[in-house]
Amino acid sequence: MSIQNSTTGEVLRSYSIEELKQQAALMRGYNLAVLCAAASGHAGGTLSIMDIAAALYLRVADHDPQNPNWPDRDRIIWSTGHKAPSLYLGLAFAGFCPKEDVALLRKLYSPYQGHPHWLKLPGVEVSTGSLGQGLSIAVGMALAAKLNRKNHRVFCIMGDGEQQEGQIWEAAMEAGHYKLDNLIGIVDRNRLQIDGWVKDVMNVEPLEEKYRSFGWQVVTINGHDMKQVVEALENAKAKAGCGKPTVILANTVKGKGVGFMEDQAGWHGKAPNLEELNKALKELGLEGQIPVDQLFAHAKQYQAEVERKLEAKMPKFHRNYWWNAAENMKVQMKPTRLGFGQSLAANGDDPRVVCFGLDISGSITISEFYANKAERKSRWISMGIAEQSATSAAAGMAKEGKLPVLGTYATFAAARNLDQIRTSVCYGNFNVLIAGAHGGVSVGPDGATHQALEDLFAMCGLPNMNVVVPCDIVETRKATDYLLLTHVGPKYIRFAREATPIVTNEKTPFVFGKANVIRLRKEAANFMEAFETKLESEYSDECEDLTIIACGPMVPEAMRAAWILKQDFGYETRVLNLHTLKPLDTEAIVRAARDTSIVLTAEEHQIGALAWPVASAITQSPALYGIPIITGAIGVKDRFGDSGAPWELIKEFEVSAEHIAAKAVELIGVKKSRSGEPVSEVHLVG
């Protein structure tokens, strides 16, 4: 069966085992080429699953490329969403989409998102990227098929590290309970995850016994032996009626086919450069067989169009005020996340400090806690990919007097485990430090599933929780120092992935719960020196034209907006760095509103985590009764993220200094027209 015309039932193409092997090899070559063109992505896991992808899409699954929504098609769920390129290539090789289009991988607006999104690409069944959810979706689809008396099968591809998610076992139990013999799970058992070997990070074995005890049939195969792969899939497909779901445990090699990638944890989330690509293609015996130049040219042309679109939608001013565009706008940039690691390295000798690893330790820098410090290893608790349990375990540690720290991407640190944060941590008022890393859009090409744009709503909404969003690497270090050792109670710190401007130094004040005022003072040799920063409580009104209140990496953007407003319009701006979102420095907000009568907020988040508490402080303050305050809000406007380069996304989501400045000009215009003053000429287009 497999690829067919759903109207006539005619089989359009069938592949022999030998042909499948060739197709899988070509898919590996395309995969590495498109990862290279994207300059990011997951080489290791896409290579380990490729033989299975080829067998499924080209031979085993019934589907129709001309009719992707054919109701009787087999469903393939990629619970392991980071292997999206293998899914895309499966579709492309089966004829659902042009092969060369997969070169648009991870680019802005592209159907080929960093993690699959079914609303963007026909043939993708569901959107995934947050590990551990796919098997439950597959259970739902298999149950629906039973209810509808349909005969199609539901395949669900998972990783072995992914088996650490508790939700997998809830779904496994459900599939066994409901005897879902139309469901086929596939585990890409390559034995590696991000932090190292699965057996060391959090052992999941023996998977055979575990699945069997949940009522599944278990088949173990060599996931690179095409004959075994096809037989296992076809047998499992034929077993409907046996009253049991099937799981295929496919023993594979991460990075399969490329010697320097095989069994290397470092190649989990890495793309080859051109030299590595050529070396890999040679090893795969694919020299001259992959149209690398064409793929690159296609990617480049698409990218040029993306850039043209983005530039067209940017507000324009007299000059180019982008970071480092002019000599006096020079800034040093470093990722805020590094400040978190620096603090853990510096403060980790305190025997109460315990860090929980959630299999993303290097990139969020929590691993700095034990780097080169073997004596701390006993206080490093690797929990695997199990955010929910780790959160409650941290509460347990805190109850016993420890200072637990846990961190992962902010989406998984503050949303996946929200009920655990609420009930285990906050209700019990425990001293747990939660780090939401890669907050905002700046995580870039990974796309929407990895861009935390809602986390602060939940964290700020929880009683007892304290929330800090530092503006740069230096402030992140200071905030972590304070939260880790001094502050007692539940606390959330949110920082970003991308390098962002350093706008504070050792002398800049940081007082938890107290805002800083930042004022542009003079032309200086570089951007930072042109500004003066003070604690807001030590600042006196200078009758500025407006206030911009910002947190996190929006603080440097607000400063740059202040610069634009001064240079292009002569306006004076009070920038408030509201690094602590909870407890809120209400006095600083109210004073700024009273003094300037315009308050514009800027957040790299859905509008409202910063904007609504600020608006609430203003509307509730008796000091402001009867005083008209003009407010505006910059932030993400109720939409999910997208793949793209971090700074492209800052433009696309309209959270750049240019957008802040444009909004400020609009608000100042309102203020002036109210008071009868002439409104200054606005130089905005777009």
Ligand X SMILES: Cc1ncc(C[n+]2csc(CCOP(=O)(O)OP(=O)(O)O)c2C)c(N)n1
Determine, following the binding rule CB under 6 A, whether residue 157 of this chain makes contact with ligand X.
Answer: no
Q: Which residue's CB atom is positioned nearest to ligand X?
A: 159
What tokens appear for 401 in the block? 């007097």
The SS3 assignment for 380 reads: strand
Among 95, 111, 161, 644, binds ligand X (CB under 6 A): 161
Whole-angstrom distance, CA of residue 146 vs CA of residue 180: 8
Residues 22-51 that bind ligand X (CB under 6 A): 44-45, 48
| Contact call for residue 188 and ligand X (CB under 6 A) | yes
Query: Looking at beta carbons only, is 321 or 412 nearer to ligand X?
Result: 412
- Which of 159-167, 318-326, 466-474, 513-521 is the region at the interface with ligand X (rule: CB under 6 A)? 159-167
The nearest distance, CB 457 to ligand X, in angstroms, is 19
DSSP 126: S
By CB under 6 A, residue 455 contacts ligand X = no
Measured from the CB atom, the residue of 216 and 267 that comes closer to ligand X is 267
Instruction: Note whether 445 binds ligand X by CB under 6 A.
Output: no
d(CA 13, CA 20): 12
**Is beta strand 333-335 parallel, antiparallel or unpaired with respect to 531-535?**
unpaired
Write down the least CB distance from residue 49 to ligand X, Å. 7
Shortest Å distance, C-beta 175 to ligand X: 19
Candidates 2, 6, 23, 190; binder of ligand X (CB under 6 A) is 190
Q: Which is nearer to ligand X, 169 or 296 (CB)?
A: 169
Q: Which of 162, 472, 536, 544 binds ligand X (CB under 6 A)?
A: 162
Draw the binding track, 75-114, toward ligand X (x: CB under 6 A; -: no contact).
-----x-x--------------------------------
Nearer to ligand X, 162 or 472 (CB): 162
3-state secondary structure of 237: helix
CB of 131 to ligand X, least distance (A): 4
CA distance 361 to 137: 28
C-beta closer to ligand X: residue 49 or 518? 49
Burial of 406 (0-12, 13-18, 19+ CB in 10 A): buried
416 binds ligand X (CB under 6 A): yes
In the bound state with ligand X, the residue whose beta carbon lies nearer, of 452 and 598, is 452
CB of residue 497 to ligand X, shortest distance in Å: 13
- From the list 62-70, 170-178, 188-196, 547-555, the region that binds ligand X by CB under 6 A is 188-196
Choices 191-199, 233-241, 460-468, 634-642; region in contact with ligand X by CB under 6 A: 191-199
Burial class (CB in 10 A: 0-12, 13-18, 19+), 23: buried
Specify the residue, 257 or 556, whose C-beta has the smaller distance to ligand X. 257
Rounded to whole angstroms, the Cα distance separating 515 from 76 reads 50
Segment contacting ligand X (CB under 6 A): 190-198, 323-331, 372-380, 475-483? 190-198
Which string of x and - marks every residue 476-515 that binds ligand X (by CB under 6 A)?
Answer: ----------------------------------------
Rule CB under 6 A: is residue 182 a binding residue for ligand X?
no
Binding segment toward ligand X, per CB under 6 A, in 57-65, 154-162, 537-545, 675-683: 154-162
CA distance 334 to 337: 9
Name which of 45 and 556 has its Cβ closer to ligand X.
45
442 binds ligand X (CB under 6 A): no
Least Å distance, CB 418 to ligand X, is 13
Q: CA separation (Å) from 507 to 345, 474, 504?
A: 21, 10, 8
User: How do strand 433-437 and strand 403-409 relate by DSSP bridges?
Assistant: parallel
Restricting to residues 359-388, name those near ligand X by CB under 6 A. Answer: 359-360, 385
Residues 534, 536, 537, 540: is their CA dihedral positive or negative?
A: positive
User: In whole angstroms, how close is the CB of 315 to ligand X at the nearest point?
Assistant: 35
Q: Decide: is 438 part of the binding site for ligand X (CB under 6 A).
A: no
Q: Quick check: 160 binds ligand X (CB under 6 A)?
A: yes
Radius of gyration of the chain (CA): 27
Q: Residue 298 interacts with ligand X (CB under 6 A)?
A: no
Q: Which stretch binds ligand X (CB under 6 A): 185-193, 292-300, 566-574, 629-637?
A: 185-193
**The residue type at 548:** I
The window from 153-161, 314-322, 572-580, 623-631 that contacts ligand X (CB under 6 A) reads 153-161
- Least distance in angstroms from the C-beta of 133 to ligand X: 8
How many residues bind ligand X, per CB under 6 A?
Answer: 26
Structure tokens at 453: 């744009």
456 within 8 A of 463, measured Cβ to Cβ: no
546-550 β-sheet, strand order: 531-535, 516-520, 573-577, 546-550, 598-606, 630-636
- Least distance from ligand X to the Cβ atom of residue 48, Å: 6
Shortest approach of ligand X to residue 166 CB, angstroms? 11
The position carrying tokens 């939409």 is: 639
Establish if 653 lies at the interface with ligand X (CB under 6 A).
no
Q: What track of x and - describes contact with ligand X for positions 323 through 362 (by CB under 6 A)?
A: ------------------------------------xx--
Among 343, 360, 485, 367, smallest CA distance to 412 is for 360
Buried/exposed code over 414-442 (b: 16+ C-beta within 10 A; e: otherwise): bbbbbebbbebbbebebbbbbbbbbbbbb
Structure tokens at 373: 């410090």
Cβ atoms of 385 and 164 closer than 8 Å: yes
3-class DSSP state of 403: strand
Amino acid identity, position 484: L
Sequence-separated (6 or more) residues with CB below 8 Å from residue 596: 543, 544, 545, 546, 547, 574
x/- letters, 111..150, toward ligand X (CB under 6 A): ------------------xxxx------------------
Three-class SS state of 114:
coil
CA atoms within 13 A on the CB side of 10: 5
φ, ψ for residue 59 (rounded to 5)? -135, -45
Phi, psi angle pair for 549, to nearest 5°: -105, 125
Asked if residues 91 and 53 have their Cβ atoms less than 8 Å apart, the reply is: no
Counting contacts by CB under 6 A, is residue 4 touching ligand X?
Answer: no
- Check: CB of residue 232 under 8 Å from CB of residue 248: yes
Interactions with ligand X, residue window 264-293 (CB under 6 A)? 268
Q: Establish if 193 lies at the interface with ligand X (CB under 6 A).
A: yes
Q: What is the footprint of ligand X within residues 602-641 (CB under 6 A)?
A: none
Closest CA to 152 of 76, 39, 93, 216: 76
Task: Pull the structure tokens for residue 451.
Answer: 């861009």
Stretch binding ligand X (CB under 6 A), from 189-197, 219-227, 514-522, 527-535:
189-197
The least distance separating ligand X from the CB of residue 586, rounded to whole angstroms, comes to 36
664 near 548, Cβ under 8 Å? yes
Question: Which residue type does 616 have?
Answer: S
Q: Shortest Cβ distance from residue 321 to ligand X (Å)?
A: 36
Contact between 334 and 310 under an 8 Å Cβ cutoff? The reply is: no
554 is an interface residue for ligand X by CB under 6 A: no
Q: Which of 24, 121, 192, 290 binds ligand X (CB under 6 A)?
A: 192
What are the residues binding ligand X (CB under 6 A)?
A: 44-45, 48, 80, 82, 129-132, 159-162, 188, 190, 192-194, 254, 268, 359-360, 385, 408, 412, 416
